[in-house]
């Protein structure tokens, strides 16, 4: 998780392993490809970390994923596909965002 939450530009195994003190690239590759993960334990740990970092009893975490059909020549381009309500083949961007809204707005 240290690598995923770091400021690294690339979040592939090698840069993340090198980011962690004593990290070994081969060991990290084996961990990711061969290890059995306890999903419930990982979710519980993740929920606890989020709660500790930004939890408030009445706060709300809002996650939004929004897609936009590509318009114009200056947008990022990749191969087209059918998207959403547009029946034509086109390119689309997807933006994911997350915001935490505390129970009380501080002035």
Range of the domain at 73: 57-107
Pairing verdict, β 86-90 and 60-69: unpaired
Please state whether 73 falls in left (phi above 0), alpha (psi between -120 and 50) or beta.
alpha
pLDDT by residue for the chain (107 residues), tens digit each? 666 777 888 888 888 888 888 889 999 888 888 988 889 998 899 888 877 877 777 778 788 888 777 666 665 555 555 555 555 555 667 788 888 777 665 55
State CA 64 to chain mean position distance. 12
In a domain, 78, yes or no: yes
Position 48 in a domain: no
Is 98 part of a structural domain of the chain? yes
Number of domains in the chain: 1
pTM beyond 0.85? no
- The neighbouring-strand residues paired with 101 are 60
Domain assignment present for residue 76? The answer is yes
For residue 74, being part of any structural domain is answered with: yes
d(CA 103, CA 56) in angstroms, rounded, equals 7
- Separation CA 40–CA 24 (nearest Å): 26
Instruction: Examine residue 43 and state whether it is found in any structural domain, yes or no.
Output: no
Residue 31 lies in a domain: no
| Contact predicate 58/101, CB 8 Å | no
Residue at 71 is within a domain: yes
């Amino acid at each position: 998780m240290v690598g995923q939450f770091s400021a690294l530009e690339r979040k592939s195994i090698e840069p993340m392993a090198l980011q962690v003190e004593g990290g070994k690239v081969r060991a990290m590759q084996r961990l990711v490809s061969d290890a059995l993960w306890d999903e419930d334990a990982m979710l519980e740990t993740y929920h606890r970390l989020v709660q500790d970092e930004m939890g408030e009893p009445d706060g709300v975490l809002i996650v939004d994923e929004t897609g936009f059909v590509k318009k114009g020549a200056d947008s990022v381009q990749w191969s087209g596909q059918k998207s959403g309500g547009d029946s034509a083949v086109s390119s689309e961007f997807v933006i994911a965002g997350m915001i935490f809204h505390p129970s009380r707005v501080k002035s």
